[in-house]
Amino acid sequence: MYLVTVLGNLPIILAFRSDSHLHTPMYFFLSNLSLVDNYFTSTTVPKMLWNIQTQSKVISNEGCITQMYFLTLFGGWDHFLLTVMTYDRYVAICHPLHYTVIMNPQFCGLLVLVSWIMSVLNSLLHSLMISTLSFPAELEIPHFFCELKQMIKLACSDTFLNDTVMYFTTGQLAGGLLAGILYFYPKIVSSICRMSSVQGKYKAFSTCASHLSAISSFYCTILGVYLSSAPIHTSQSSSIISVMYTMVTPLLTHSSTVSGTKT
């Protein structure tokens, strides 16, 4: 699954860079999403495979915080890019005559840059707060990687502030981005229904359906981990959901989004 995800995303990135005909906003965002998905899965899966091969499950404190930082960074960046791609589809379908003016290269670059900055700040905040907590000398993490919520649960010191910040930032970022998606998609569907061409409707619906499947798989798993109450989630169920959003979801995101752009 890891090889399919990485090797499947690389041709998209290389094709965008080498073919000038693909230098459009849609393929620009798709290439960035493919790049982020590769980074996202590479923060956890190679270490997990190494642990399985060597039968050693040890990770240093610095390595654990570093892994958590990049996981949060690329996970947040994925959220932003999926929302940006929704806005791109909204402009393309609802305002086609103004599409090239609105989605100009400078504006597209700005959207990706702002997404990256917001993701960096969010990840840096959580990592710095985790570094202030104290943990047992002999700590066993009931997970296959260092996840923010698991680390907070295992800390010896008071974690009220960490919990508050985690739920607040997750609710604000994920909830705010999801609200933007839910705002644009009814307008997109309404515009598609008004199209006179059956072929145009089919093409638009196919693109939107693939994009929505990627969004739903990503948001359902992320919100399931970070906005669920502690008594409901066992370590095993949390690990299973985490496998979904770190390994399965990037694979599905790549496959569904590419199929939509081909259509």
Q: How far are the Cα atoms of 46, 68, 75, 96, 143 from residue 129, in angstroms, in the given order?
A: 26, 12, 18, 45, 20
The rounded radius of gyration (Å) of the Cα atoms in the chain is: 20
Give the pLDDT band of residue 14 (cuts 50, 70, 90): confident
Question: Which domains does the chain carry?
Answer: 2-262 (1.20.1070.10)
What is the C-alpha separation between 147 and 166, in angstroms, rounded?
12
Q: What is the DSSP string of 96-141?
A: GGGHHHHT-HHHHHHHHHHHHHHHHHHHHHHHHHHHTS---SS---
Give the pLDDT band of residue 232 (cuts 50, 70, 90): very low
What is the C-alpha separation between 238 and 97, in angstroms, rounded?
46
Give the pLDDT band of residue 116 (cuts 50, 70, 90): very high
User: Are the C-beta atoms of residues 224 and 241 closer than 8 Å to each other?
Assistant: yes
pLDDT at 208: 77
The pLDDT mean for the chain works out to: 84
Q: What is the DSSP string of 205-221?
A: HHHHHHHHHHHHHHHHH
Whether the per-residue pLDDT at 192 is higher than 90: the answer is no
Tell me: the pLDDT tens digits for 42-76?
999 999 899 989 988 889 888 999 999 999 999 88
- Continuous segment of H or E residues that includes residue 183: helix 160-193
Give the pLDDT band of residue 235 (cuts 50, 70, 90): low
> For the whole model, what pTM was predicted?
0.85
Give the pLDDT band of residue 231 (cuts 50, 70, 90): very low
Whether the per-residue pLDDT at 233 is higher than 60: the answer is no
